[in-house]
Chains A and B, each alone.
Chain A
Amino acid sequence: MSQLFSKANMEALTNPLNLNNPVVVQVLGICSALAVTAQLEPAIVMGLSVTIITAFSNLIISLIRNSIPNRIRIIVQLVVVAALVTIVSQVLKAFAYDVSVQLSVYVGLIITNCILMGRLEAFAMMNKPWPSFLDGIGNGIGYAIILVIVGFFRELLGAGTLFGCQVIPQWCYDHGYVNNGMMTMPAMSLIIVGIVIWAHRAYNKDLQ
């Protein structure tokens, strides 16, 4: 049991949350960070889905890593990810229809997310299943955190709402406050990601 949560394994889980964050340090998965962060809710849904899919595709690839022919490994990884996403979305459609309607837009984005391929190639291909699974969870959550931060600011400043509920009081609008329409544009999420990277590096000197 202590083996399962050894120091190396815990690092696989927690490193991606901060010092090896897939978005702000490795700068992966930026495209989907643009697409789904106009509001907080889809950002969280996307973060959770990526976490689950990364964890399980890492697990599967790690299980079969020794049998994969080197020359077609990327294709094999892609097939595994695509099959997994398709099956998950089919199951959701049958048993949790509302969630699947929300996710349908992101299915394509999950399959092509660079974080998945990055982790499969960099970690799952050369590590045992359990650490790979933890690494998948860690990277997924690391990605979700950034998405939530960006989504929080974009929805708050762009629409004055959080989770669709009005949080900026009418009083402010009456006194001349206006929502920043720029925030609803994808370009602003790049700028917010940039600011997050700046803050993160300013805090972690050894990343500079």
Chain B
Amino acid sequence: MAKINTNSNVYTICYAAIMVVLVAFLLAFVSSALKPAQDANVAIDKKSQILASLNVRGLAKSEVEAKYDALIQETCVLTPDGQVVEGADAFEVETKEIGDKYPVYKAKTADGADALVFPLKGRGLWGGLWGYVAVTPDLQKVLGAYFDHESETAGLGALIKEAKFQEQFIGRPVMGEDGKVALTVVKKGASETETQVDGVTGATLTSKGVGEMLLTGIQQYVDALGGGAQPAGECCEQAAKCCDKPDCKCAEKKQCACKDGSCGDPACNCASDAKCCAREECPCATCEKTEPCAKGECAGEAAEGAHKCKSGSDCCKSGKCDKSGSCGKPGCDGDKACCGHK
């Protein structure tokens, strides 16, 4: 083999050029060959993060898909002014797009409570933060939370990723006294109200970042969802919330996917909508529970006037006959079930 001068200029330039091209091809090949497997992993990871906010933690990779499909019922993407983006998939919305689009997941928590999950984004000390907060459909209470980070300090800021930190949020109220979102993170030990959650000691800026993300992030969702008083869009979550509000004009909700009838609407089918019957403005002519309970049908007087139910037994257990002695038995004080006794 002829001796090549490895120090000549030509050799050096050729060597560098070939090396760069080879490495570029190698990296491009590896990247494109592994992309599908990586994307699948990223999707599963995102799903398990959403599940963590619903208090489903520690699932094996193979269980995530099934659990996700079981718990997530509907998703929609809202614009900042509360319009539903047609044909958009909430799951496809990337973290960096939050702010232009608001993906909302309607789901059940681990113990079966209805929840809305809001993806959030924020900034920590070194890089981005993101998280998922599950709240009750009336936006008043936190059901669960999950936070993650790009590059916070291990052992300090990175602790926001731990379940121990996140579980502090369960059961906290979202709103302050002024009706604005007040849920935030404060220095450990400095919390004065229920909406102030203890931060991580030694990670002040990361904790502040999480607090800021919650304050502004959730408020944006509340605004996009109309805070309850705005005309409803088509989004099911909005509708469900609106139905619970007496001051909400139900005409605006006809188009919405309020599954159990559209309360207050004359066409409302109360047979399938117990909630509707409980509402005062619901015309009872359309309900099947029309006649008042007659005396004698129930053991207690107090039950008189309550709506008679189809079977006649429900109204007797309506909880109104809890007066002691209403059924003549001793020890029945406050015991609704005893009213069923004759």
Binding site for B on A (CB under 8 A): 35-36, 38-39, 42, 66-72, 75-76, 79, 83, 86-87, 90-91, 93-95, 97, 101, 105, 154-155, 158-159, 164, 181, 184-185
Contacts and interface: CB of A to CB of B under 8 A. Distances in A.
B23 A83 contact: yes
* Leading 9 A-B pairs by shortest Cβ distance: A38-B155, A94-B37, A97-B41, A94-B34, A69-B12, A39-B155, A83-B23, A93-B38, A94-B38
A87 B7 contact: no
A36 B156 CA distance: 11
Contacts, number: 76
A36 to B, nearest CB: 6
Contacts of B38: 90, 93-94, 97
B124 to A, nearest CB: 13
B297 to A, nearest CB: 60
Contact of A87 (B20, B26, B45, B202): B26
A36 B158 CA distance: 12
Contacts of A87: 26-27, 30
A83 B12 contact: no
A71 B10 CA distance: 12
Contacts of B11: 69
A201 to B, nearest CB: 29
A101 B26 CA distance: 23
Given A36-B154, A91-B34, 20 more contacts: A38-B153, A38-B156, A39-B155, A69-B15, A75-B16, A76-B16, A76-B19, A83-B26, A90-B30, A94-B37, A95-B37, A97-B38, A97-B41, A105-B151, A105-B154, A159-B155, A164-B162, A181-B201, A184-B155, A184-B202
B154 to A, nearest CB: 5
Nearest to B159: A159
A49 B41 CA distance: 21
6 contacts: A67-B15, A68-B15, A71-B7, A86-B27, A93-B34, A105-B154
B7 A69 contact: yes
B160 to A, nearest CB: 14
Interface residues of B, number: 29
A68 B6 contact: yes
Interface string B76-99: 000000000000000000000000
B45 A97 contact: yes
Interface string B121-161: 00000000000000000000000000000010111100000
Interface in B5-50: 6-7, 11-12, 15-16, 19-20, 23, 26-27, 30-31, 34, 37-38, 41-42, 44-45
A70 B2 CA distance: 19
Contacts of A154: 155
B23 A184 contact: no
B156 A184 contact: yes
A42 B15 CA distance: 38
Nearest to A182: B202
Contacts of A105: 151, 154
Nearest to B164: A164
A70 B156 CA distance: 44
Given A67-B6, A69-B7, A91-B34, A83 B27 contact: yes
A184 B155 CA distance: 7
A184 B156 CA distance: 7
A164 B202 CA distance: 17
A70 B7 contact: yes
A155 to B, nearest CB: 7
A72 B23 CA distance: 16
Contact of A181 (B16, B20, B31, B202): B202
B34 to A, nearest CB: 4
B53 to A, nearest CB: 18
Contacts of B20: 79
Contact of A79 (B23, B30, B34): B23
A159 B153 CA distance: 14
Contacts of A36: 154
Of residues A38, A94, A159, A184, which shows the largest number of chain B Cβ atoms within 10 Å of its Cβ? A94
